[in-house]
Structure 1
């Protein structure tokens, strides 16, 4: 009888005591708060350099070249560069793209030219109805036709 009375008095608790876990959590919080600013100080990052792959297109692209002085040149169907003004360029490229929507349109800007000329050509091409425009560049390490790198 004594053993059964003892079992009735000592009931098992089915609750978890979380007080020690809260103490550990607060200590870890303080450690991370102190250590985090030290991790971010003077981080040197060396980013990898990559060479972009050239586009493989079945047809010759339409190339709009912007000269140093802002002059425009148009190359269509692999023909020679022809000097054009902005209105003629918009009309010719717009008609060419409407006839063949899959054709690539590329803009080549001179290294010494102003960004404003390239930006204006991009705006004109958008008004002409060109949906996608690529920017041309010289592959890394190759020289231009006049011998510059």
Structure 2
């Protein structure tokens, strides 16, 4: 199996991932006090698009809920999920690699401006799809939202 097949860049592969996914863990999710931040309004969009969210905030104190979904303190505490959407700086991503490999989501999505080729390569080698440096909200709107 080629590693590159798991590094998603083509619209068709990204569209299929988003269409088939039902659950998304949001690493670095923000609560109501940060409504102006992408780590709040992107998950809000995903909720409105019908996804089941698992907020994993990394900032203290841990809120009980974000967007009406119970917060989870660590990736290790998650049930199986389709996508882990990451809102962390690129240099913070390697600290989550072992937990991501153990969780084995179908895909890991690094938000716009976040790229870590080393981590992406290790995830892809493990058979986990990876999308880097793209906004999941923008891509969902572009590829799946009905024209209107």
How high is the TM-score relative to the length of structure 2? 0.33
**Which structure features the higher share of strand residues?**
2
**Which structure features the higher share of helix residues?**
2
Flag the structure with more relative contact order, 1 or 2, with Cα contacts below 8 A and sequence separation at least 6.
Answer: 2
Report which of the two structures shows the higher radius of gyration computed on alpha carbons: 1
